[in-house]
Amino acid sequence: MLLSLAIFAAVQPSAWAAEIKLPVLGDSASGIVSKQQEYELGRTWLKAFRSRVREHDDPLMQQYLEQLLYNLATYSDLEDPRLELVIVNNPSMNAFAVPGGVVGFHTGVFALAETEDQMASVLAHELAHLSQRHFARGLEAQRASSMVSMAGLLASLVIAATVGGDAGLAAITTTQAMAMNDQLRYSRSNEQEADRMGLQTMERANRDPGAVADMFATLLKATRYSGSRPPEFLLTHPVTEKRIADARGRAMNSSMRHYPRNPDFYLIKARALNAISNNPSDAIKRFKAELSNNGQNLDATYYGLALAYIRAGKFDLAREALGPLLANNPFQLSFQYADLELDLSQKRYTEGLAKLDKLLRVSPNSYPLTTIKSEILWQSHRYEEAGDVLTTLSRMRPEDPLVWYRLAEVRGLAGNISGVHEARAEYFILVGAFDKAREQLTLAVKLIDADFKRSAIVRQRIRDVAALEDRIKKL
């Protein structure tokens, strides 16, 4: 029996929202939030966010940004290493940090950042907010005169992620309307501290501290051309000339030296620019214009052009643009991955799998390569093999809802109905649809009741869901 899963369509976000009860914190009896409470609260918030906003599905970009974030975290003052990165494909410049180690990132950051260190400065700043526990400290400062609601933060960021611009400004203005003047000063103090701690993280990570001020200047410049629609990031992280000057002053204390640029940044930026562009023809024109202007990062420009040609279905031109890049740098993962994306688009499944076998022998745990292998197997109707690959990937990335979504799809096509229910349940758990998760697990138990070991595992998972809900209610 073949199943076509329409998980997003079958359960509307509004239905999921009713299940996730984000607590209102900050009353006079609550006191400061513990670190474990912050973690639980952040993961609850993340489930609610994922139920409303579709994450950007690009394993190569996800791996690149995760590695950058974790590298920066090792040089920050963050004590809890449990981080979760959420990427949203949105042209607006926005990034955010939620207590409990959740970091959000819009693809639009790539459009404004001119170097990797400029982009890293944004992530370092968000890590500083987490390491200094500004949320918990904010509760302590505000509890005497107001209630702080994570639901308000959720609403603001969802609107910014799905709409952006004035709507995001209106939502954030609404949630902050009750803030008192002393609380605003405290918020500015948070920003100053995050600036200082973020710059220290950059220095410890051997990155250009001057990139902090450069990124601020780029953001401020963007507001001059945006009229009434400033970048979303500036709504919660106001940038002034004084703030830029302060950042430059702190950076001047560091030794002046050359900081090498990472070519991977420009390649991933090309992927982001393609993702942001709604029309591949526009992307093709953009990258051709860059070639005409003899830009500094020609490899990245040709790479972006190849990706745009793939999206436009101009496969011969894509191979023409990609061929020299692979010939000159055959070990560059971004080029290898684009070559595989091209094979997939042209339905050259045998050729793609042969390349993957060689690449995975060298990098057996590669998230991007494993994901695209499952995709090629899926599209070539080798559903059971695709399911095996995704099952392995689900063990590597158990908190990734996109992995479980794919796994549910291929198990359905392979006729593994109990496996469909189990994978669906894990997906629903990660997006906070607990009643749907219980429903799927109950269906799975009925199908595997004769298998004592598997049914015991699924029954335990049902109890896990109940315990998770109980913990959320107690937050």
Q: Are residues 370 and 342 in the same domain?
A: no
Pairing verdict, β 148-149 and 102-106:
unpaired
Q: Which residues of the chain have pLDDT under 50?
A: 1-19, 22-31, 141, 143-148, 165-186, 228
How high is the pLDDT of residue 175?
Answer: 41
Report how far residue 30's alpha carbon sits from residue 16's, in angstroms, rounded to the nearest whole number. 27
Q: Are residues 204 and 335 in the same domain?
A: no
Q: Are residues 59 and 197 in the same domain?
A: yes
Point out the domain boundary residue: 312, 346, 380: 346
Q: Are residues 109 and 222 in the same domain?
A: yes
Q: Are residues 248 and 297 in the same domain?
A: no
Q: Are residues 289 and 369 in the same domain?
A: no
Report how far residue 22's alpha carbon sits from residue 453's, in angstroms, rounded to the nearest whole number. 35
Task: Please compute, for residue 260, the number of CA atoms within 13 A of its CA located in the half-sphere on the CB side.
Answer: 3
Q: Are residues 338 and 382 in the same domain?
A: no
In a domain, 260, yes or no: no
How high is the pLDDT of residue 412?
Answer: 97
Structural domain range at position 172: 9-252
Q: Are residues 90 and 143 in the same domain?
A: yes
Secondary structure, 3-state, the chain = CCCCCCHHHHCCHHHHHCCCCCCEECCCCCCCCCHHHHHHHHHHHHHHHHHHCCCCCCHHHHHHHHHHHHHHHHCCCCCCCCCEEEEECCCCCCEEEECCCEEEEECHHHHHCCCHHHHHHHHHHHHHHHHCCHHHHHHHHHCCCCCEEHHHHHHHHHHHHHCCHHHHHHHHHHHCCCCCHHHHHHHHHHHHHHHHHHHHHHHHCCCCCHHHHHHHHHHHHHHHCCCCCCCHHHHHCCCCHHHHHHHHHHHHCCCCCCCCCCHHHHHHHHHHHHHHCCCHHHHHHHHHHHHHCCCCCHHHHHHHHHHHHHHHCCHHHHHHHHHHHHHHCCCCHHHHHHHHHHHHHCCCHHHHHHHHHHHHHHCCCCHHHHHHHHHHHHHCCCHHHHHHHHHHHHHHCCCCHHHHHHHHHHHHHCCCHHHHHHHHHHHHHHCCCHHHHHHHHHHHHHHCCCCHHHHHHHHHHHHHHHHHHHHHHHC
Q: Are residues 282 and 328 in the same domain?
A: yes
pTM for the whole thing?
0.84
How high is the pLDDT of residue 173?
Answer: 37
Q: What is the CATH number of the domain that holds 433?
A: 1.25.40.10
In a domain, 266, yes or no: no
Convert the pLDDT of each residue in 59-78 to its tens digit.
Answer: 999 999 999 999 999 999 88
Q: Are residues 333 and 393 in the same domain?
A: no
Q: Are residues 227 and 104 in the same domain?
A: yes
Report how far residue 210's alpha carbon sits from residue 218's, in angstroms, rounded to the nearest whole number. 13
In a domain, 354, yes or no: no
| Distances, alpha carbon 217 to alpha carbons 122, 212, 358, 449, in Å | 13, 9, 45, 62
Report how far residue 48's alpha carbon sits from residue 52's, in angstroms, rounded to the nearest whole number. 7
In a domain, 40, yes or no: yes
Residue located via tokens 């500004």: 134
In a domain, 133, yes or no: yes
How high is the pLDDT of residue 156?
Answer: 64
CA-closest candidate to residue 214, choices 144, 293, 122: 122
Report how far residue 5's alpha carbon sits from residue 443's, in angstroms, rounded to the nearest whole number. 15
Burial of 309 per CB tally in 10 Å (0-12, 13-18, 19+): buried
In a domain, 157, yes or no: yes
How high is the pLDDT of residue 386?
Answer: 98
| Distances, alpha carbon 56 to alpha carbons 6, 107, 322, 333, 396, in Å | 18, 9, 24, 19, 19
How high is the pLDDT of residue 233?
Answer: 58
Contact 387, 411 (CB under 8 A): yes
User: How is residue 425 written in tokens?
Assistant: 């349940």
Query: How many domains are there within the chain?
Result: 3
In a domain, 85, yes or no: yes
Mark residue 84 as left, alpha or beta (left: phi above 0; alpha: psi -120 to 50; beta: remaining): beta
Q: Are residues 319 and 370 in the same domain?
A: no
In a domain, 398, yes or no: yes
